[in-house]
Amino acid sequence: MSEQQPPADRRTATELLLALDDQPGRSLRERLGAALKDAVRTGRLPPGTRLPSTRVLAADLAVSRGVVVDAYAELIAEGFLISRAGSGTVVSSAGRWSAAPPGEASGDPSTQRTGAVQSDVLDLRPGPPDLAAFPRAAWAAAMRDVLRTLPDHELGYVAPWGSDAMRETLATYLARVRGAMVKSPDVVVVSGVTQGLTILARVLGAAGHRTLAVESPGHASQRDILSRQGLQIRDVPVDAEGIDADALARTRSRAVVVTPANQYPCGVLLSSARRRALIRWAEDVDGVVLEDDHDSEFRYERLPVGCLQGLSPARVALLGSVSKSLAPGLRLGWVVPPGFLQPAVRALKRDDDFGSGVLDQHAFSRLVVTGAYDRHLRQLRHRYRERRNALVGALGRDLPSWPIQGQAAGLHVLVRLPRDVDEAALVDTALDTGVAVQGTAAMYGSLPPVAGLVIGYARAPIGRLDEGVRRLAAAAAAVARGRGGSSRGAPARRPRGSTALDYC
Ligand X SMILES: Cc1ncc(COP(=O)(O)O)c(C=O)c1O
Interacting residues toward ligand X by CB under 6 A: 127, 192-194, 219, 259, 264, 292, 294, 321, 323, 328, 333, 503
Give residue number: closest CB to ligand X.
192
> Closer to ligand X at the Cβ: 6 or 333?
333
* Bridge partners for 257 per DSSP: 214, 290
Q: Which is nearer to ligand X, 331 or 464 (CB)?
A: 331
Q: Closest distance between ligand X and the C-beta of residue 453, in Å? A: 16
First to last CA, the chain: 34
Nearest CB to ligand X, comparing residues 209 and 294 = 294
Nearer residue to ligand X within complex by CB, 125 or 234: 125
CA-closest candidate to residue 275, choices 316, 222, 218: 316
Phi, psi of 33 (to 5 degrees): -60, -45
The C-alpha atoms of residue 398 and residue 476 are separated, in whole angstroms, by 10
C-beta of 332: minimal distance to ligand X in Å? 8
User: Shortest approach of ligand X to residue 120 CB, angstroms?
Assistant: 25
Query: CA 367: distance to chain centroid?
Result: 22
Residue 124 burial by CB count (10 A; 0-12/13-18/19+): exposed, middle or buried?
buried
Residue with Cβ nearer ligand X (123 or 292): 292
- Give the shortest CB-336-to-ligand X separation in angstroms: 14
- Cα(385)–Cα(17) distance, integer angstroms: 50
Phi (first) and psi of residue 255, to 5 degrees: -150, 145
Q: 84: Cβ–Cβ under 8 A, 6 or more apart, which residues?
A: 90
- The residue length of the chain stands at 504
Q: Where are the alpha helices (DSSP H) in 230-336?
A: 245-250, 272-284
Indicate the residue among 265 and 434 with the shorter CB distance to ligand X.
265
- For the bound state, the minimum distance from the C-beta of residue 102 to ligand X, rounded and expressed in Å, comes to 25
Q: Cβ–Cβ contacts within 10 Å for residue 55, how many?
A: 11
Number of Cβ within a 10 Å radius of residue 297: 26
| 170: enclosing H helix or E strand | helix 164-178
Q: How many secondary structure helices (H) and strands (E) does the chain include?
A: 15, 18
Q: What single letter denotes the amino acid at residue 119?
A: S
CB 312 → ligand X: shortest distance, Å?
A: 21
Name the residue nearer to ligand X (CB basis): 262 or 433: 262
**Shortest approach of ligand X to residue 311 CB, angstroms?**
20
Distance in Å, CB of 296 to ligand X, minimum = 11
Cβ proximity to ligand X, 61 vs 193, nearer residue: 193
Between 57 and 380, name the residue whose CB sits nearer to ligand X: 380
Q: How far is the CB of 2 from ligand X (least distance, A)?
A: 39
Nearest in space to 158 (alpha carbons), one of 150, 148, 170 = 150
